[in-house]
Copies of this chain bind each other. A is one copy, B any other.
Amino acid sequence: MLKGIIESLLFVSDEPLSVAKLQQVTGQGQTEIEVALEEIKVELADGERGIVLQEVAGGFRFFTNPKYSAYVEKLVLSSEFRRLTQAALETLAVIAYRQPITRVEVSNIRGVSVDSVLANLVAKGLVKEVGKDDAPGHPTLYGTSDIFLESFGLKDLGELPSLEEFSPDEETARKIQRHLQS
């Protein structure tokens, strides 16, 4: 059971998990955690499994078995992999122009929950945490990353064209008009 819990935590974690962190989340003692981690490690260490558990700086983390890296690369390089969805693009656009911004603020602008989309943008390295808001609960503030700037050939955020200058072309304006009339 504790083994299962730790497996699921390692699976979703974005960074190595320390024993202390695992203690805090599971409420278990250090020894129990260490025993469970050792068991997971041994199970995965037969050399054939797709996932391995490694202790790296700061804690434990799942990695793909290096033996299969050729296949993993092939998947990652295949063209349709990691393409951004419309929802992701919209979220990125809002963050680019309103950063630093909280998750809830992005949701409010887009009118829908953005949890998974935001996690995905962070995973893809386009968006990163840039601090905490002063508001109650100190929600995380998000902003765009260097990878984002690079992708659009921007030196810095100051180079983003101002939104005010940008007014929709005639066709877009007509579309909105039509929308409002119908």
* CB <8 Å contact, A64 and B11: yes
Q: List chain B residues, Cβ under 8 A from A64.
A: 8, 11-12
Q: Is the interface of A mostly helix, strand, loop or mixed?
A: helix
Q: List chain B residues, Cβ under 8 A from A67.
A: 4
A68 touches which of B5, B78, B113 (Cβ 8 Å):
B5
Stretch of A46-54, A93-101, A156-164 contacting B (4+ beta carbons < 8 Å): A46-54
Count the copies: 2
Tell me the residues in window 92-145 of chain A with beta carbons closer than 8 Å to chain B beta carbons: 103, 111-113, 115-116, 119-120, 123-125, 140
* CB <8 Å contact, B78 and A24: yes
Tell me the residues in window 58-99 of chain A with beta carbons closer than 8 Å to chain B beta carbons: 62, 64-65, 67-68, 71-72, 74-82, 87
10 interchain pairs, CB-CB under 8 A: A3-B48, A4-B49, A4-B65, A5-B71, A9-B50, A21-B75, A25-B78, A77-B103, A77-B119, A113-B124
Complex Cα distance, B72 from A107, in Å, reads 22
- Distance in angstroms from A153 CB to nearest chain B CB is 15
Contact-residue size bin, chain A (C-beta under 8 Å from the other chain): 35 or more
Complex Cα distance, B24 from A148, in Å, reads 30
Complex Cα distance, B4 from A13, in Å, reads 21
The reply on A19 being an interface residue by CB < 8 A is no
